[in-house]
Structure 1
Amino acid sequence: MSDKSNKSVQEKLTDLSELVGWFQGASFKLETALDKFKEAELLAEEIEKDLTKLKNDIKIVKKRFDSEN
């Protein structure tokens, strides 16, 4: 999962979904579960930050739009 900071929120959500699916799949191995969990946790935090930024950007645009009308 390189270049995850350059990915869109949708791409990151897809990556997270694949990680979650790994835990439910046949290729699950306890030895690698902790690394996968940490990777998923970091990705979820990054997605949350991206969504917060988008929400703030939308608020700014809405405020500008409301002040023009």
Structure 2
Amino acid sequence: MFIACGTCNHYFVTHDPKRPWGCHKFGFKSNILPSQEIKKSTGIECAYFSSKAVKVSSGRDLNGK
């Protein structure tokens, strides 16, 4: 199973160029995506992946039309 960190509630982007991605759940920053770091360290897929809620557009523009 492929886990896309960008769609996870726990994923965040840092301002550190050497460690640009992080995971709030595991509490770390890394130079590779958190799901890849977890797989490399433990040998299993991330157990705490939590999909972000999908925002549905109303179809209206900013002027309410």
TM-score, normalized by length of structure 1? 0.29
Q: Which has the higher contact order (CA 8 A, sep 6+)?
A: 1
**Higher CA-based Rg:** 1
TM-score, normalized by length of structure 2? 0.30
Higher strand share: 2
